[in-house]
Amino acid sequence: MMSGMNTEVCDSAELVTLRRIFASRPEALPPIRQGAVRAFEAEHGIVLPEPYRTSVAEVCDGLGSGPPYYGLLPLAQIPPDWGSSRPKRLLARPFPLTAPWLWEVDEDAQALSEEDLEARTDSVADHGSLLLGTEGCGMYWHLIVTGPQRGHVWLIDENGAVPFGTRPATSLMPGTPGFTGWVTHWAEGRSWFADV
């Protein structure tokens, strides 16, 4: 599943949508400006995907309350429940997945040693993604910043990793892919998951 999105140039219609949604939220945090974004990118050896990059610099750098349930994190923040003993987050290392992976029910994953499975799942959680927020109970939203899924938003928890906004509508989390599609989805109050 390739990106298919333009993550290099901020689409003006997407920016208008993000401005409208965030302007309606009194808990929206002020933007951080382009200089702070460039400094973050230089520190991590990445370029943030559009329209997220322009959004945090010009529109809003997070929400004090949800969605996600515990709020949209400001750039570079990690949720308090992330844990201090986790491996170092490596944003420049490509996100390793291109399709959903439910390791709790994947027979190949279950055949791995505990150490090998932990290394693979840690790479999913810690490589090539920026944390957007948490729904609690170990469920974290990630914006992919490197690799073939750059610009997509994924939900990662202890059971697996699933992209938001995949098509067709029969997928686990149907909707419009990318940051704007994800923000629009929660702003409209729709369920994340397809009716099963």
pLDDT at 151 over 90: yes
Concatenated DSSP letters for 123-187? HHHHBSEEEEEEEETTEEEEEE-SSTTTT-EEEE-SS-EEESSBSSTTSSSBS--SHHHHHHHHH
Residue 105, judged by CB atoms within 10 A of its CB (0-12, 13-18, 19+), counts as exposed
d(CA 97, CA 186): 24
Tally the C-alpha atoms within 13 A of residue 103's C-alpha that lie toward its C-beta.
23
What pLDDT score was predicted for residue 169?
Answer: 53
pLDDT digits (tens, 9 = 90+) for 2-44: 345 789 999 999 999 999 999 999 899 999 999 999 999 999 9
pLDDT-derived band at 170, boundaries 50, 70, 90: low
Amino acid at position 63, single letter: L
pTM of the model: 0.91
pLDDT-derived band at 54, boundaries 50, 70, 90: very high
pLDDT-derived band at 50, boundaries 50, 70, 90: very high
| Beta carbons within 10 angstroms of residue 192's beta carbon | 19
Mean pLDDT, rounded, of the chain = 89
Question: How many degrees, rounded to 5, is the angle at CA 86 between CA 50 and CA 72?
Answer: 35
- The helix/strand/coil state of 63 is strand
pLDDT digits (tens, 9 = 90+) for 86-104: 888 999 999 999 999 988 8
Tally the C-alpha atoms within 13 A of residue 80's C-alpha that lie toward its C-beta.
2
pLDDT at 61 over 60: yes
What pLDDT score was predicted for residue 103?
Answer: 87
Tell which residue, 26, 132, 23, 117, has the closest CA to residue 76.
132
What pLDDT score was predicted for residue 168?
Answer: 58
